[in-house]
Amino acid sequence: MEIRNLGRSGLRVSLIGLGCNNFGGRLDLAATRAVVHRALDSGITLFDTADIYGNRGGSEEQLGQILGDRRKDIVLATKFGMAMDDSGALRGGSRRYIMRAVEASLKRLRTDWIDLYQLHQADPHTPIEETLRALDDLVRQGKVRYVGCSNLPAWQVTEAHWTARHHNLNGFVSAQDEYSLLVRGIEKELLPAVSAHGMGLLPYFPLASGLLSGKYQRNMPAPKGTRLAEGTTTAQRFFTDANLAVVEALSAFAEQRGRSLLQLAFSWLASRPAVASVIAGATRPEQVTQNVGAANWRLTAEELDEIDRITGRA
């Protein structure tokens, strides 16, 4: 497993990370245990969860039960900021809420520290300086090692960077955002900002909710049991004729080189600027194994240009 620094920080993470959003929700404790153990055995060191995952706390609770002595061997990342109650009172980036949220996460995770604590989304009601000062206090207290952000636009990432620098605070070392061969919107503004500020990028949805897994074909219904077969908003967003046409072209590109679409999806992300670890979820141990082995294709400059042409970025 390749290990990379998270941006210009000293935090080192595995190139493939385990997304824990299925734990405590789609997966029960036994199924989660099987996935976690396979990830540990495969050399994955970055485990990424959030307080909201698993019906508000289930993912963190399951990880806390399973990791045990292996906690010290991994980089444990979680997030805060999304609503943890129906009223919307338990959310955001205020000092008052952060201090409560971190204690709840630490308790569920059964740990004394969080390696990477991430603001899950922007809080329009709280100045970023207040959020950063609260997070800086947690770092100084030893409850958090590093801090990051997720789903922030480029201007807010830059505002946070300069606020932390001006006030001599611990700033965000990472940004976690959606990024894949089919979703490349962050390349216009966010990716340049992340790179300029020395942050590491943690892409999520690397397979576009499964569309880049090789399971789906045009004019064919989505396989039963898959996420895109459920008729959800996610399915409506990704399962389109335009996307399927691109997937067909990418599949042909990979097959011509003796590779799979899955390998192309992961290896392309691994080649992108600032990417430190690709966050990939799994519901079965064999999916973990496939993901870990999928990022070993070193794409040439010519191949990258051809991929840009296929995906409409040339």
Q: Structural domain boundaries of the chain?
A: 3-211+264-296
8 Å CB contact between 60 and 53? yes
30 Cα distance to chain centroid: 23
Closest among 245, 263, 270 to 179, alpha carbons compared: 270
Q: How much is the pLDDT for 227? A: 56
What's the pLDDT at 280?
94
Q: Which residues of 213-223 are buried (b: 16+ CB within 10 A; e: fewer)?
A: bbbbeeeeebe
Indicate if the pLDDT at residue 226 is higher than 80: no
| Catalytic residue status for 117 | no
pLDDT band, residue 221 (cuts 50/70/90): low
Could you write out the DSSP letters of every residue in 102-139?
HHHHHHHHT-S-EEEEEE-S--TTS-HHHHHHHHHHHH
Set 53, 97, 117, 204: catalytic member: 53
Q: Kindly give, in sequence order, each residue whose CB lies less than 8 Å from that of residue 255, ignoring residues fewer than 6 positions away.
A: none
Reply yes or no on whether the pLDDT at 228 is more than 60: no
Beta bridge partners of 175: 149, 201
CATH class of 3-211+264-296: alpha beta
Helical H runs in the chain? Answer: 29-41, 53-67, 95-109, 128-141, 154-166, 190-196, 233-238, 241-256, 261-270, 285-292, 301-310
The predicted structure's pLDDT at residue 214 = 80
Cα angle 87, 156, 21 (rounded to 5 degrees) comes to 50
Residue 41 in this model has a pLDDT that exceeds 70 = yes
Residue 223 has pLDDT above 70, yes or no: no
Cα separation values, 132 from 126, 156, 183, Å = 10, 12, 29
